[in-house]
Copies of this chain bind each other. A is one copy, B any other.
Amino acid sequence: MNLLMAFGEPTTDRRAARHEATKAEIVEAAWALAREHGLAGVSLRDLAKRVGMQPPSLYSYFPSKHAIYDAMFAQGYEALLELRRRTEVPDDPREAVRVMARQFLAFCVEDPARYQLLFQRTIPGFEPSEESYALATEVLGATSTYLDRAGAGDAESRDLWTALLTGLADQQISNDPGGDRWVRLVDTAVDMFLDSRGQTRRRRR
């Protein structure tokens, strides 16, 4: 599937294809601005300037600014899903969880603006559309599979897992941007997590 066509209606002819391509260009420029000036620092003025348009022309492609954020949201989760599809996961359950964790953290830290949009509620009034949110759910579901194989598939474990990983990502981004002070703890964190899950199961027997 063409990345440029990842959102919007299916293309029927060349005019529509061009339209989608321009939409993609706008979204790409929006990401660039978000990385430079923060997610909330994306303005339609700057965005239009960056793609060589006048601000009102953007409304030929997106009905509102939130619609642009929504396209970015969807694209962000698409990127994570695509990354996972391309990743070879080890057979060993614990090692598989480790790979997922490292990958998730790298993905978060790689682009703080994207992390903010995908995993925090920080844009006032923005709610992802139903279709976009479905992608977020899909990611969570894929994660559960690997947790389950490693003996941590129950709801509590899953919640503890998300808290642990987003906590690491958040601290890394907030308090040591560009460094690895928290990212390097990921293997320790995975071991801590999976060991404790194993104990819980033993206790219950």
Query: A-side interface residues toward B, CB under 8 Å?
Result: 37-38, 40-41, 119-122, 124, 156, 159-160, 162-168, 170-171, 174, 181-182, 185, 188-189, 191-193, 195-196, 199
Contact = CB atoms under 8 A, between A and B. Distances in A.
Contacts of A171: 159, 162-163, 166
A163 B163 CA distance: 8
29 contacts: A37-B124, A40-B40, A41-B124, A119-B174, A120-B120, A156-B185, A156-B188, A159-B171, A159-B181, A159-B185, A160-B185, A160-B189, A160-B192, A163-B164, A163-B168, A163-B170, A163-B182, A163-B185, A163-B189, A164-B167, A165-B167, A166-B170, A166-B171, A167-B168, A170-B170, A188-B196, A191-B196, A192-B192, A195-B196
B199 A195 contact: yes
A contacts with B: majority SS = helix
Contacts of A121: 174
A182 B170 contact: no
Contact of A120 (B37, B40, B156, B174): B174
Contacts of A122: 122
Which of A120, A192, A195 has the largest count of B CB atoms less than 10 A from its CB? A192
B185 A124 contact: no
Contacts of A170: 120, 163, 166-167, 170
Contacts of A174: 119-121
Contacts of A164: 163-164, 167
A166 B193 CA distance: 16
